[in-house]
């Protein structure tokens, strides 16, 4: 038995109509069906944040959401951050501050940071720590990650890389 249902989602601005298995998570569909492998699979229990994507403007662990639940939703993955081949300010800041070590957690970190800045454009260091508390970095690059987010919040990277 392999139940499927049709869903329609918008991923990084592009509308997609798919038949998904009801027991597949949004993460499964993003990686396997849409072949957008920037979003990472890791702990599968909602602790590490590697699978973070934005659903209707809010970040979620895509490993804890069934794909069928996303029917009608607007989704942004890490592939949706760069525009016209240009990294967005946050991505550039992560590179400039050396926030990317092994890189595995970075897609999730970027999406979480993007959501944080959208809601709170000038967060304090504590607010950045809280906003990214659901994203673990095994390389322990937290200092550089925080610096990168802060530099965008303070305008260091605004507009330079547009």
Partner 1 sequence: MQTFAYESPTTLAEAVALLDAHGPDARLLAGGTDLVIRLRDGSARPGVVIDVKRIAELCPAIREHDGTVTIGATTVMTDVAANELLRRHFPALAEAAAVVGSVQIRNRATIAGNVCNASPAADTAPPLLVYGAVVVAVGLQGTRRIPISEFFVRSGVTTLERNELLVAMELPVPVSRTGAVHMRRTRRRGHDLASVTLCCSVDEKGMTRLAYGSVGPRPVLYVDESGVLADPAATDEAKAPIFERMFADASPSKRSMRASPEYRLAMLRVLGSRAVRTAIERLASLRSVEA
Chain positions contacting partner 1, by CB under 8 A: 1-3, 5, 21-25, 44-47, 49, 52, 58-61, 63-66, 68-69, 112, 115-116, 129-131, 133-135
Q: What is the spatial distance between Cα 7 and Cα 81, in angstroms, rounded to a whole number?
A: 24
Name the minimum Å distance from CB 13 to partner 1: 21
Q: Read off φ and ψ for residue 141, nearest 5 degrees.
A: -90, 30
Name the minimum Å distance from CB 124 to partner 1: 15
Name the minimum Å distance from CB 130 to partner 1: 8
For partner 1, give the closer residue by CB, 47 or 160.
Answer: 47
Q: What is the spatial distance between Cα 110 and Cα 128, in angstroms, rounded to a whole number?
A: 12
Q: What is the spatial distance between Cα 128 and Cα 120, in angstroms, rounded to a whole number?
A: 10
35: alpha, beta or left? (left if phi > 0; alpha if psi -120 to 50):
left
For partner 1, give the closer residue by CB, 66 or 92.
Answer: 66
For partner 1, give the closer residue by CB, 25 or 77.
Answer: 25
E-assigned strand segments in 45-157: 52-55, 58-61, 74-76
Name the minimum Å distance from CB 61 to partner 1: 5
3-class state of residue 74 by DSSP: strand
Give the count of beta carbons closer than 10 Å to the beta carbon of residue 110: 26
Q: Read off φ and ψ for residue 62, nearest 5 degrees.
A: -70, -10
For partner 1, give the closer residue by CB, 25 or 91.
Answer: 25
Name the minimum Å distance from CB 114 to partner 1: 12
For partner 1, give the closer residue by CB, 115 or 148.
Answer: 115
């Amino acid at each position: 038995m392999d139940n499927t249902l049709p869903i329609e989602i918008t991923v990084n601005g592009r509308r997609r109509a798919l038949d998904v298995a009801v027991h597949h998570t949004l993460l499964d569909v993003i990686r396997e069906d849409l072949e957008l492998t920037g979003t990472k699979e890791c702990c599968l229990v909602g602790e590490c944040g590697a699978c973070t994507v934005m659903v209707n403007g809010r970040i979620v662990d895509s490993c804890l959401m069934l794909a069928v639940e996303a029917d009608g939703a607007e989704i942004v993955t890490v592939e949706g951050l760069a525009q016209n081949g240009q990294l967005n300010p946050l991505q550039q800041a992560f590179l400039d501050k050396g926030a990317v070590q092994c890189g595995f957690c970075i897609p999730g970190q970027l999406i979480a940071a993007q959501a944080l800045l959208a809601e709170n454009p000038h967060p304090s260091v504590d607010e950045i720590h809280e906003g990214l508390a659901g994203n673990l970095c095994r390389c322990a690059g937290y200092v550089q990650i925080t610096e990168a987010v802060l530099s965008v919040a303070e305008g260091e990277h605004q507009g330079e890389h547009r």
